[in-house]
A and B are shown apart, each in its own frame.
Chain A
Amino acid sequence: MVQIDAKILMNQRIAPERYKMVLSAPEIARQANPGQFVHVRVCEGYNPLLRRPFSVHRAKGQKIEILYKVVGRGTEILSRKKNGEYLDVLGPLGNGYRSPSAPSKISDIILVAGGTGVASLLFLAESLSRTSPELSILAIIGAKDKDELLCEGDFKRLGCRVEVATENGTKGYRGLASDLFQECLPLPVDKAKQVVFACGPSGMLKRVGEISKKRHFPCWVSLEEHLACGVGACLGCVVKVKGSNYTYKRVCRDGPVFDAGELVW
């Protein structure tokens, strides 16, 4: 974990209200694992006051990339940043996706992405295809409209099988990524051979977790929360997890990736 002033190398609109930003951040790039995030101060003033968290979308050489959708004042300010400007970036933070414990036993990785949730899953796919090229990866990508689909080509270039869902039916399956996930599950299933990783809206994650549980797939979900500190100090971002009764874990430090079976939705 480091705090650096990272130079913006690119900040480009790639779809309606969706942007890709490339930052020069050598130390973060070296340390980052798929599923980890960076915590970015979007302006020097106090409005907005807090940093904004973004999953690491790629980490290569000296650079990291983030994907973001303009949803409020913070991301709106970010979208207007120019190449050459600097951003105060803290990261990499949190625990990323757990690598499948015994990759040799696993043949199928299923990635389920909703909206910009695809950002961290592409990083995971790139990393897995490098470390475990024998794995077959299915990427299920969902968005509201075909114009908002992200990274389809990137997954294909990695050799992943890609299935697309749009809520308005403008491309691929008409419906939610979680519905498509259920529909394209292989039958019959060798349960020891499948692992699911999902990132997207919490309703989608809950659904993907439930379906995975029924099918006995290990399922890892990456949660999105409003964060204050991002380092585990403020306890503002907790989620309820199963315990003897229940307990809380910090999304920023104990997550953002959790075993779906551990969460109390």
Chain B
Amino acid sequence: MMRKSKEKLANLAIDLAGISLRNPVMVASGTFGYGEEYAELLDLNRLGAIVTKTITLKPRLGNEPPRIVETAYGILNSIGLQNVGLNGFIRDKLPFLKKYNVPLIVSIAGETPEEYVQLAQRLRREEIEGLELNLSCPNIKYERGLMFAQDSQATHRVVSKVRKATRLPLIVKLSPNVTDIASLAKVCEESGADAVSLINTFTAMAVDVESRRPILRQITGGLSGPAIKPIALRMVYEVYKKVKIPIVGMGGIMTASDALEFIMAGARAVAIGTGNFVDPRIPIKVIDGISEYMIKHGIRNIKSIVGSLRCRES
């Protein structure tokens, strides 16, 4: 009852590229499995949306371990898109997720633009609310050595082709491993994306000095967690200034205050990633915390604080 009345005082509902979210707090791809892993620990129906583990056409084994190492205020991972594949996902994972009343965004990745198209075409027949195009996994090998999200032409090719293949809302996940993330976001907007999500992880590494070996088997991995939050925030701010399509902000969000920083910098929604590993209660705490903040500051509607950063004119 308390929650209901609070939610009336503070309206957290928001539209993201045509997807109605009951609140702006989502869980990030790769950090929440296929939902079932966390279903015993929190009420999935309270989430703004679930973004699934990235799905590829064929199942992927993923990278050789060690795949994960803890660093100061962060984690390095090199999972390598281990997943059950498109058919396995539809057959074994989707039915469980469909039981919940929570918007479902399926993250997809391909080795070529055509694979993204095939995934999108097959998934448009399913009851899902949107697609996230993962153009930015740092832990797989790319033909030309660059991830799609590091190359504006490749980004354009993938996004525009998938755009023609489906009417589902398209969210493009961007990489921070670029010189100018805002220009990549602009390319996404011009190619027909409905939203961008940022950021994916930073390519990074750690060394065991006793053995002089890199700790991860793949040598490098992607850095996530509180360590990257200030950079992620700056990137959301830069993208917000450059594009009109909505932004899903993420990178080390652990608290409602972290989430509000992203929202004020321009994110229309936020996602909890590494935080889920640290404390599965974080998404719910963030939702409740945003609500409390709004009540405290007399803010009726979450939309009114998106991009509300007050910068002094220079």
Contact = CB atoms under 8 A, between A and B. Distances in A.
A100 interface: no
B38 A228 contact: no
A3 interface: yes
B61 A248 contact: yes
Contact of A253 (B37, B53, B67): B37
Contacts of A240: 64-65
Interface string B24-67: 00000011110001101100000000000100000001101111
Contacts of B276: 229, 233
B82 interface: yes
A233 B33 contact: yes
B72 interface: yes
Contact of B277 (A1, A229, A248): A229
B14 interface: no
A41 B278 CA distance: 7
Contacts of B277: 50-51, 228-230, 233-234
A252 to B, nearest CB: 10
Interface in A15-47: 41, 46-47
Given A46-B254, A49-B225, A50-B277, A233 B37 contact: yes
A230 B279 CA distance: 11
A192 to B, nearest CB: 35
A231 B38 contact: yes
Contact size range, B: 35 or more
A125 B77 CA distance: 37
Contact of B67 (A49, A229, A238): A238
Interface in B249-298: 254, 274, 276-281
A1 B41 contact: yes
B279 A41 contact: yes
Contact of B32 (A47, A226, A233, A237): A233
Contacts of B225: 46, 49
A2 B66 CA distance: 28
A142 interface: no
A49 B72 CA distance: 8
Nearest to B281: A3
Given A46-B254, A48-B70, A235 B62 contact: yes
A232 B33 contact: yes
Residue in B65, B69, B82, B226 whose Cβ sees the most chain A Cβ within 10 Å: B65
Given A3-B280, A46-B254, A238-B62, A226 B82 contact: no
Given A226-B69, A229-B276, A233-B276, A46 B62 contact: no
Contact of B68 (A90, A233, A237): A237
A226 B70 CA distance: 9
Contacts, number: 94
A231 B75 contact: no
Contacts of A3: 41, 280-281
Contacts of A41: 278-279
Nearest to B79: A235
A145 interface: no
Residue in A46, A49, A90, A240 whose Cβ sees the most chain B Cβ within 10 Å: A49
Contact of A226 (B64, B68, B278): B68
Given A232-B37, A235-B67, A238-B82, A88 B279 contact: yes
Nearest to B68: A236
B67 A47 contact: no
B74 interface: yes
A238 B279 contact: no
B231 to A, nearest CB: 16
A53 to B, nearest CB: 12
Contacts of A229: 31, 37, 276-277
A49 B278 contact: yes
Contacts of B53: 233
A132 interface: no
Interface of A: 1-3, 41, 46-51, 88, 90, 226, 228-240, 247-248, 253
20 contacts: A2-B40, A2-B41, A3-B41, A46-B226, A46-B278, A49-B274, A226-B66, A226-B70, A228-B68, A229-B37, A230-B277, A233-B31, A233-B277, A234-B277, A235-B82, A236-B67, A236-B79, A238-B65, A240-B65, A248-B65
The 5 A-B pairs with the shortest beta carbon distances in the complex, nearest first, are A236-B68, A233-B33, A233-B37, A229-B277, A228-B277
Given A3-B41, A228-B77, A234-B77, 20 more contacts: A3-B281, A41-B279, A46-B73, A46-B278, A49-B70, A90-B41, A226-B69, A228-B70, A229-B31, A231-B280, A233-B33, A233-B38, A234-B33, A235-B67, A235-B82, A239-B65, A240-B64, A240-B65, A247-B61, A248-B82
